Amino acid sequence: MLFFPRVSGLDAHLSDTSLTSDFHFVDIASLLLDAAATVSTETRAALTDKEKRRQKRHTKIRAKLSGTAERPRISVYRSNQHTYVQVIDDENQKTLCAIGTMSSSIKEQVGKEEWKTKTVDAARAVGAALGATMMEKGIKTAVFDRGGFVYHGRVKAVAEACREAGVEF
């Protein structure tokens, strides 16, 4: 039992209607059952306008780009803290390899401090590691998908480091 202030929506859950005070005891189990019965499919955290615009740009880019087994797509995602890169074969819907600043090999190179994973140097290390992994797997050409982000800073560093490792875009 929980102690809640009187609210008009909670009147159906009152166990004793003869109380005259402004507070009532409400059974938490009945509240949880009612909440479970009305499941909503809408997103709780709304996207910002900036993220909506980025996703719209990415949708337009993806309409023109597609990865194959011979020439997969290199997809870049840049969050506030980290940079993530995947090599994707869209025809078979498989991720061939993936790496990001969260991986232990990259953290050993750039440092374990939180601020070091946000830098262009960390993104360059991710691109170099991805390029090396792609060359080991025999992937020499790829299509670069900037993910709706501006080709500048960390996104550009990933692309240039992959090119330096021998991958052709």
Query: pLDDT tens, 61-74?
Result: 999 989 999 999 99
Dihedral sign for Cα atoms in the order 7, 12, 13, 15: positive
What is the per-residue pLDDT for 92? 93
- Six token digits for residue 142: 């790829």
- What is the pTM (predicted TM-score) of this model? 0.70
Q: What percent of the chain has pLDDT over 90?
A: 69
Confidence band for 112, pLDDT divided at 50, 70 and 90? confident
What is the per-residue pLDDT for 43? 56
Report which of 155, 154, 137 is spatially closest to residue 146, judged by C-alpha positions.
155
- Greater confidence (146 vs 26) lies with 146
Instruction: Identify the structural domains of the chain with CATH numbers, from first to last.
Output: 2-37 (no CATH), 49-164 (3.30.420.100)
Query: Where does residue 80 rank: exposed (0-12), middle (13-18), buried (19+ CB within 10 A)?
Result: exposed
Task: List, for residues 14-61, the tens digit of each pLDDT value.
Answer: 444 444 445 455 555 555 555 545 544 555 678 899 999 999 999 999
